[in-house]
Chain A
Amino acid sequence: MLLIPCPFCGPRSEDEFTFGGDATLVTPKEEGNIEAAADHIFLRDNPKGWHKEYWVHRYGCRRWMIVVRHTVTHKIKSVSLATAINQ
């Protein structure tokens, strides 16, 4: 069971959050490159180790955040607000 330290609400149970997937994906800049688009949509690093991922505090402050979590130990290294995305 995860205890996710929300920057606004403090440490809260994973029950209150929803997982949003891999946060390292970057939309390809080049238009019309179908293969790059397909790779972006479907391929994942899927590391056995540290994973940068989105979570939303759905039953709390409702903010999206980026969590760095270990996929074997489930330890959480860092949590930050997902404001810098796509800038």
Chain B
Amino acid sequence: MRYSLFSIARHALNSHKGWTEAWKKPPLQKQYDVVIIGGGGHGLATAYYLAKFNNNLRVAVLEKGWIGGGNTGRNTTGIRSNYFLTENAKFYDHSLKLWENLTQELNFNLMFSQRGMVSLCHSSSDGERLATRYNALRLNDIDGDTLTLDQLKIMLPDLNYSPAARFPISGAVIQRRAGVARHDAVAWGFARAASRLGVDIIENCEVTNIDISKNCVTSIQTSKGNVACEKIGICVAGHTSEIARMVGLKLPMETHLLQAMVTEPVKPFLNTLVVSPALHCYISQTDKGEILIGGGIDGYNSYSQRGTWPKIEEIVSGAISMFPRLRGLRLMRTWAGIMDMTMDGAPIIGQTPIKHLYINGGWCIGGFKAIPGAGWCFAQTILNDQPHPLTEPFSLDRFRTGRLLSESGAGNQPHKQ
């Protein structure tokens, strides 16, 4: 059923008793053309685009918990394409363009709000670095502006402009097309749209092994039984190494915690995303009024999905340095997700040494924004059994060929990214 003003009116006549479930809950079949492991944003988007590009395919998404219960439901929803490296910039801007029409495409309100993202400069070298990045953006036809201190003060009067601040603010850059979306709605919207195209979404179904014959995928073992399949796409974020281990693959990846937290809700005072690279902290205000705060990863390998205290203290102190008036607020909730941190900070999308086994992962701390873009490219990679031009640079073999994509120059130390 399409959602529209008319469907609301029609159902209102029947006291809203006629609404049906947004996506079906079919039983697991014995055989599929493509099985996607992981019902986060990436798995669901991939399944949706697979079904959209070839509606004859039998596609299933297998999720061990509930859809959107992983990082997709835990992130701070920053969506942007302000990347320096051309490969990154082109890919993420493709994704951002898909976001701009996604609510309409999925017929599901993602509450996508392009409220802009401001990155603060705290020194002249900060300023030069960000100006270089934003000039590179413009060369790639992506929007980006610099803001003087006076412009910034009008936009964000509550920042700490004191010259005595821990990191005094000297200016900023802004990508105005950047924004936020409702994370749950992204999972639900893709699930509903995929289900309408015939994709089976199976929750509480954990993949426990992958069967291979003559170096090619043949079937998959799950907590709900075995399934024969032609192709498999891995979209499991922090568990990518665990799935790869099933087929004897070792990946350039470590799993780390990333936390976020919200304060109690307050009246609207922040209508954009603000990030301070120097303070390793970023802030936005949710539609409910909470101040949403995030920072860097906790710093040691973990699959626990539970954050640690020292990091919360560090992130909060950064937030208060930026906006001193946050000092009086109480934290309401904190949580963590487990991140698939690659050795160069860029994702891995494409084929593996095993035929018909494909990886979409290594999103590090920023794969929410990539959900439509990567789903779009990854679906075509699986369909055609060859890399999509936009994601070809993100191939797994770049770690052997040396064509790394190190945006921050952090190198092979995920725990320091």
A contact set with B: CB distance below 8 Å: 1-2, 13-15, 19, 21-22, 34-35, 38-39, 41-48, 51, 53, 69, 71-74
Q: Is B253 an interface residue (CB 8 A)?
A: yes
Q: Is B308 an interface residue (CB 8 A)?
A: yes
Residues in B neighbouring A43, C-beta threshold 8 A: 250-252, 399
Which of B17-25, B145-153, B299-307 lies at the interface?
Answer: B299-307
Residues of chain B lying within 8 A (CB to CB) of residue A39 = 250, 400
Question: B213-248: which have CB < 8 Å to A?
Answer: 239, 241-242
Please list the 6 inter-chain residue pairs (A to B) with the smallest Cβ-Cβ separation, ordered nearest first.
A42-B252, A46-B241, A19-B300, A42-B399, A43-B250, A48-B303
Contact between B415 and A19, CB atoms less than 8 A apart: yes
Query: Are A48 and B310 closer than 8 Å at their CB atoms?
Result: no
What DSSP secondary structure best describes chain B's contact surface?
Answer: mixed
Q: A38-B399, A46-B251 are in contact. List 10 more A-B contacts (CB 8 A).
A: A1-B310, A21-B415, A22-B254, A41-B343, A43-B252, A44-B251, A45-B241, A48-B255, A72-B302, A74-B304
Instruction: Looking at the assembled complex, report how far the CB atom of B303 sits from the nearest CB atom of chain A, in whole angstroms.
Output: 5
Complex interface residues of chain B between 286 and 344 (CB less than 8 A to chain A): 299-304, 308-310, 343
A15 CA to B310 CA in the complex, in Å?
7
Chain B residues, CB < 8 A from A72? 302-304
Give complex CA distance A81, B201 in Å. Answer: 49
In whole Å, how far is B317's beta carbon from the nearest beta carbon of chain A? 13
Q: In the complex, what residues of A have CB within 8 A of residue B55's CB?
A: none
Q: Is B304 a contact partner of A42 (Cβ separation < 8 A)?
A: no
Count residues of B near A (Cβ-Cβ below 8 Å). Answer: 25
B301 contacts A46, C-beta separation under 8 Å:
yes
* Interface residues in chain B, defined as those with a beta carbon under 8 Å from any beta carbon in chain A: 239, 241-242, 250-255, 299-304, 308-310, 343, 399-400, 402, 412-413, 415
* Chain A residue nearest in CB terms to B310: A15
Does A46 lie within 8 Å of B254, measured CB to CB?
yes
* A44, B308: Cβ atoms closer than 8 Å: no
Would you give 8 A-B contacts (Cβ < 8 Å), ordered by A?
A14-B308, A21-B413, A38-B402, A41-B343, A44-B252, A48-B239, A53-B301, A69-B300
A46 to B250, CA, bound (A): 9
Given contacts A43-B252, A46-B301, A72-B303, contact A38 B310 (CB under 8 A): no
A2 to B302, CA, bound (A): 12
Q: Look across to chain A and name the residue whose beta carbon is closest to the beta carbon of B255.
A: A46
Q: Which of A15, A46, A73, A74 contacts B253 (CB 8 A)?
A: A46
A71, B310: Cα distance in complex, Å: 18
Q: Collect the chain B residues with CB atoms within 8 Å of residue A53's CB.
A: 300-301
Docked pose: A15 CA to B314 CA in angstroms: 11
Q: Which A residue's beta carbon lies closest to that of B302?
A: A71
Distance in Å from the Cβ of B398 to the closest Cβ of chain A?
Answer: 10
Tell me if B308 and A38 are in contact (CB < 8 A): no
CB within 8 Å for A19 and B253 given contacts A1-B308, A42-B399: no
Q: Are A44 and B415 in contact (CB under 8 A)?
A: no
A residues less than 8 Å from B308 (CB atoms): 1-2, 14
A45 to B242, CA, bound (A): 9
Residue on B with the closest CB to A19? B300
Q: Which residue of A lies closest to B240 (CB)?
A: A46
A19, B252: Cβ atoms closer than 8 Å: no
Q: Which residue of B lies closest to A48 (CB)?
A: B303
| A71: B residues at CB distance < 8 A | 255, 301-304
- The CA of A53 and the CA of B301, in the complex, are separated in Å by 9
Complex interface: chain A residues within 8 A of B412 (CB): 41-42
Asked if residues B301 and A51 are in contact (CB atoms below 8 Å), the reply is yes
Q: Nearest Cβ in chain A — how far from B394, in angstroms?
A: 14
Q: Compute how far the CA of A14 lies from the CA of B242 in the bound complex, rounded to whole angstroms.
A: 27
A2 to B300, CA, bound (A): 11
